[in-house]
Chains A and B, each alone.
Chain A
Amino acid sequence: MDGAAITDLNAVSIGHDVYWVGAFDPNLRTFDLILKTANGTSYNSYLVRGEDGVCIVDTVKKEFQDTFFARLESVCDYSEIKYIVLNHMEPDHTGALPELLKRAPHVKVYLSFQAQNMLKGLLKEGVEDLDVTTVTTGDFIDLGNRDVAFLNTPFLHWPDTQCTWLPECGYLLSGDLFGCHFCDTRLFNDLVGDFRFSFEYYYAHIMRPFKHHVLQALDLIEPLDFKLIAPAHGPILREHPREYVRRYHSLSVPRMRKETKVSEKTLLIFYMSAYGSTAEMAREIHAGAEGVPGVRISLYDLEGGELKPFVDLIEEADGLIFGSPTINGDAVKPIWDLLSSLCSIHTQGKLGAVFGSYGWTGEAIAMIEDRLRGLKFRVPVPGKKVKLIPTDEELEECRAFGREIAENLTGTNAPKVIDFSDLL
């Protein structure tokens, strides 16, 4: 490779009898409806040649399959292909699979256990006739003079994802991991333009909700003596590949050490208030929760902040309490804006609770609780609502509400037995 842009439809050698047979998609501007792609993307597919045959790792989006097959045919005959490895079943990597299976019907397909059902969903018919093998960490294909090995790295970013490892040359074919939407026909990271933003943007939108799975995958990847990382999108990382792994590590651990003790739980209160009643409730809930040992509590007026730092805060919090007045039968927009901005972080299992003052009806509380459950929060304490101005008695109830939530968070609330009818 001399640094020139790729303008033909031949396979590109990346060394050690491994070839890039992917496709460039420079005109794409939005990926999966959620990601912007300022200069498009690439669908990276790889061909591994061994003494005993050829293995294809991933394919491309269906619209680009002619390019994929042209590159593939430039270095091998379909009769030589013995194995297809599917690191990830999303259609941008499996779009050419049905046609490839027609052209090479004798191949054996290797994928993760979780990918089997997705294969059925993609191919619909004929799956029963395929020779499919499920693999996990430790499994490998013997190509004679080299192995094609597997690392089980689920939820990066679907349940089925895995990495393929070529131990003899130290190449990691990593699927979406370490990828980015950046289209540059010079292909290699030491030749392409500045793609650092795209690399981090991709992590933030695709991998961030699965940080703990990223760290589990890094436990498998970091000890490897890898020389090159070949992801399924964006530049091939042949210069300083370990820097990209380190960056993933740093992005997946807390931003700063929290000034909390290991045993402490963090509880955040976010609120909006039109006439001060919901704010007053927030302060009393804060006071009530503060009295529970082992809870570090923070209070934020949504009116005084921006979404992004609040999302960062929520990501690392153990419990969240949201306060909203009810206006025209709904919670107020900044609350919905915040609660619709959480799909890029992991929220499952966090504790949630809701409160607010209302004038007529008070629907906001139940609506926010439903949203929290939809985000897979636990919502163990029924919401607290007060009609207009809270009385002293109601403010005391707010303090008790705060205490109860904090005790739920620390697990210090005594075990109890309730009847099903209490829940209706």
Chain B
Amino acid sequence: MAKAKVTFSDIGLSVMVPVGTRIIEISEKVGSGIVYGCRECDCGTCIMHVKEGMENLSEPSMLEDRVLRENMAGKEFRLACQAQVLGDVTIAPV
């Protein structure tokens, strides 16, 4: 199975994960400061800063795009409950 490296820069930890894993499946287990509210692409609580490798995350759905827009998130931000890892990324809480 193809793997990719997710680096949580706030805690200085990288995790090798199977491609397709969502950030939400990893971040709480490692103790990153990314926090969650609804966990289903509605509230925008889990907006995270993608510091490197934005192109290595799955494309945002129309719904995620809307939530990001409503929260005035810039182009370096995604929802951790939605984004799937396709290649190496470095992320941090906002």
Count of CB-CB pairs between chains A and B under 8 Å: 56
Q: A116 — which chain B residues lie within 8 A by C-beta?
A: 70
Q: In whole angstroms, how far apart are the Cα atoms of A408 and B31 in the complex?
A: 10
Name which of A44-52, A195-203, A414-422 contacts chain B: A414-422
Q: In whole angstroms, how far apart are the Cα atoms of A415 and B9 in the complex?
A: 9
From known contacts A116-B70, A417-B5, infer whether A423 and B13 are also in contact, taking CB-CB under 8 Å: no
Name which of A92-100, A240-248, A307-315, A377-385 contacts chain B: A377-385
- Residues from 327 to 349 in A contacting B, C-beta threshold 8 Å: 348-349
Q: What are 30 A-B contacts with C-beta separation under 8 Å?
A: A113-B72, A116-B70, A348-B33, A349-B33, A349-B35, A351-B31, A376-B35, A379-B28, A379-B31, A380-B13, A380-B30, A380-B32, A381-B31, A415-B13, A415-B14, A416-B12, A416-B13, A416-B14, A417-B16, A418-B14, A418-B30, A419-B16, A420-B15, A420-B16, A420-B17, A420-B18, A420-B21, A423-B15, A423-B26, A423-B29
- Residues from 2 to 49 in B contacting A, C-beta threshold 8 Å: 5, 11-18, 21, 26, 28-33, 35
A117 within 8 A of B: yes
B53 within 8 A of A: no
Whether B35 lies near A411 (C-beta < 8 A) is no
Q: In whole angstroms, how far apart are the Cα atoms of A413 and B29 in the complex?
A: 17
Q: B17 — which chain A residues lie within 8 A by C-beta?
A: 420
Tell me the smallest distance from the CB of B50 to a CB of chain A, in Å. 19
A238 within 8 A of B: no
Whether B12 lies near A411 (C-beta < 8 A) is yes
A373 within 8 A of B: yes
Whether B30 lies near A417 (C-beta < 8 A) is no
Q: B15 — which chain A residues lie within 8 A by C-beta?
A: 417-420, 423
Interface centre among A348, A378, A413 (most CB of B within 10 A): A378
Whether B14 lies near A420 (C-beta < 8 A) is no
Per-residue CB contact flags for chain A residues 305-323 toward chain B (1 = under 8 Å, else 0) read 0000000000000000000
Q: List residues of B whose CB falls within 8 A of some A CB.
A: 5, 11-18, 21, 26, 28-33, 35, 70, 72, 93
Tell me the smallest distance from the CB of B78 to a CB of chain A, in Å. 19
Q: A418 — which chain B residues lie within 8 A by C-beta?
A: 13-16, 30
Whether B28 lies near A373 (C-beta < 8 A) is yes
From known contacts A116-B70, A420-B17, infer whether A378 and B12 are also in contact, taking CB-CB under 8 Å: no
Of B12, B14, B16, B93, which contacts A413 at CB under 8 A?
B12
Whether A348 lies near B31 (C-beta < 8 A) is no
If over half of B's interface residues share one DSSP class (helix, strand or loop), that class is named, otherwise mixed; here it is mixed
Q: Would you list the 8 A-B pairs with minimal beta carbon distance, nearest first?
A: A380-B31, A415-B12, A378-B31, A417-B14, A423-B29, A376-B35, A420-B17, A349-B33
Of A348, A378, A419, which contacts B32 at CB under 8 A?
A378
Per-residue CB contact flags for chain A residues 88-116 toward chain B (1 = under 8 Å, else 0) read 00000000000000000000000001001
Minimum CB distance partner of A422 in chain B: B15
Tell me the smallest distance from the CB of A134 to a CB of chain B, in Å. 10
Q: B35 — which chain A residues lie within 8 A by C-beta?
A: 348-349, 376
Minimum CB distance partner of B71 in chain A: A114
Whether A423 lies near B30 (C-beta < 8 A) is yes
Q: In whole angstroms, how far apart are the Cα atoms of A330 and B31 in the complex?
A: 23
Q: In whole angstroms, how far apart are the Cα atoms of A380 and B27 in the complex?
A: 10
Q: B31 — which chain A residues lie within 8 A by C-beta?
A: 351, 378-381, 408
Minimum CB distance partner of A116 in chain B: B70
Minimum CB distance partner of B72 in chain A: A113
Q: A411 — which chain B residues lie within 8 A by C-beta?
A: 12
- Residues from 23 to 78 in A contacting B, C-beta threshold 8 Å: none
Whether A408 lies near B11 (C-beta < 8 A) is yes
Tell me the smallest distance from the CB of A189 to a CB of chain B, in Å. 37
Given pairs A348-B35, A417-B14, A423-B30, 20 additional interface contacts (CB within 8 A): A117-B70, A349-B33, A373-B28, A379-B31, A380-B11, A380-B30, A381-B31, A408-B31, A411-B12, A413-B12, A415-B14, A418-B15, A418-B30, A419-B15, A420-B16, A420-B17, A420-B18, A420-B21, A423-B15, A423-B26
Q: In whole angstroms, how far apart are the Cα atoms of A122 and B70 in the complex?
A: 17
Q: B11 — which chain A residues lie within 8 A by C-beta?
A: 378, 380, 408
- Residues from 386 to 416 in A contacting B, C-beta threshold 8 Å: 408, 411, 413-416
Minimum CB distance partner of A419 in chain B: B16
Q: In whole angstroms, how far apart are the Cα atoms of A416 and B12 in the complex?
A: 7
Q: In whole angstroms, how far apart are the Cα atoms of A413 and B14 in the complex?
A: 13
